[in-house]
Amino acid sequence: MFNRKSRQNKRAIGEPQVDKDRLPMHVAIIMDGNGRWAKQHNLPKVMGHRAGAESLRDLVRYCAETGIPILTAYAFSTENWKRPQDEVSNLMGLLVEYLYKEVEELNENDVRISSIGQVDALPSEAYEALMAAEEKTKDNKRLTLNLALNYGGRLEILEAVRKLAHDAAAGRLDPVSIDEALFSSALYTAGIPDPDLLIRPAGDFRVSNFLLWQIAYTELWTTPVLWPDFRRAHLEEAIIEYQRRERRFGGRHN
């Protein structure tokens, strides 16, 4: 199924093409616009979230087929608990459904499921489904699908500070030795390279408390397309734009 070609994805002759020799190693996506999509289609909000799951499915397939090794999806933030209880319950139910429904195909296609955030605070059924999916796919190498669940960038930084401060107070760490590499190793994303490209659908221009430390030099790309309408053709458009840019990481332009 991962090798299935999408007619929607074929680009006309003469249009810019993705250079597969210069792909981003890590793409991060803020999956936004589900509620607005549902409202536009006169549907319950849960149907927007369900349609958004189809977008994620298509992008996972594209990344695996194309050779992008890491895809991080902002699925549920620490702020999302403030939403109506029925919406939160629907989101958690959809997460469980997605994990159980997709894990076999993901495993067969060498995709590893990982997560960042305070996942142990998720409802038990969601947590158990996540842990089972991570365990089943832990040895896969083709693509890492990194789900940000109960995640907040400020909380992640605070937790890293607390961990390092605790180690320093216990005499296990000299505070003078704390550098960027050590601090990064205390984050949820330890061992994962920072995103090369951050995509924000739905027309908003903010990072919404997502990967605040990690996106210091990440290329940002926004689109008015709502997340449930976002497909691989849009990801290709973002990658082509990414490949046009010169990444200087604070250095001077030559």
Residue 85's pLDDT is: 95
Q: What is the mean pLDDT of residues 61-84?
A: 97
Query: For residues 228 and 48, is the Cβ–Cβ distance under 8 A?
Result: yes
pLDDT at 16: 86
State yes or no: pLDDT of 1 exceeds 80: no
Distance, in Å, from the CA atom of 46 to the CA atom of 184, rounded to the nearest integer, reads 36
User: Which position among 3, 21, 80, 229 bears the catalytic label?
Assistant: 80
| Catalytically annotated residue among 3, 19, 21, 32 | 32
Q: What pLDDT, on the 0 to 100 scale, is given for residue 79?
A: 96
pLDDT of 12 reads 59
DSSP state letters, the chain: -TTPPPGGGPPPTTS----TTS--SEEEEE---HHHHHHHTT--HHHHHHHHHHHHHHHHHHHHHHT--EEEEEEEEGGGGGS-HHHHHHHHHHHHHHHHHHHHHHHHTTEEEEEES-GGGS-HHHHHHHHHHHHHHTT--SEEEEEEEEE-HHHHHHHHHHHHHHHHHTTS--GGG--HHHHHHTSTTTTSPPPSEEEE-TT----TTSSTTTTTTPEEEE-SS-GGG--HHHHHHHHHHHHHS---TTPPP-
| Res. 252: pLDDT tops 80 | no
Q: Does domain 22-153+195-244 have CATH number 3.30.70.1890?
A: no
**Mean pLDDT value of segment 206-224:** 97
Average pLDDT over residues 241-247: 91
Residue 43 has pLDDT above 80, yes or no: yes
Lowest mean pLDDT among 3-12, 29-38, 117-126: 3-12
Mean pLDDT, residues 80-92 taken together: 96
Mean per-residue pLDDT over the chain, rounded: 93
> Is 70 exceeded by the pLDDT of residue 6?
no
> What does the pLDDT look like over 130-176, one tens digit per residue?
999 999 999 999 999 999 999 999 999 999 999 999 999 999 999 99
Is 32 part of the annotated catalytic residue set?
A: yes
Find, among 245, 191, 247, the residue nearest to 214 by Cα: 191
Is 80 in the active site? yes
Q: What is the pLDDT of residue 246?
A: 84
**In the predicted structure, residue 5 carries a pLDDT above the cut 80:** no
Measure the CA–CA gap between 242 and 239, rounded to whole angstroms: 5
Which pLDDT score, from 0 to 100, does residue 212 have?
Answer: 98
As a whole-number percent, the residues of the chain with pLDDT over 90 amount to: 90
- pLDDT bracket for residue 247 (50, 70, 90): confident
pTM over 0.85: yes
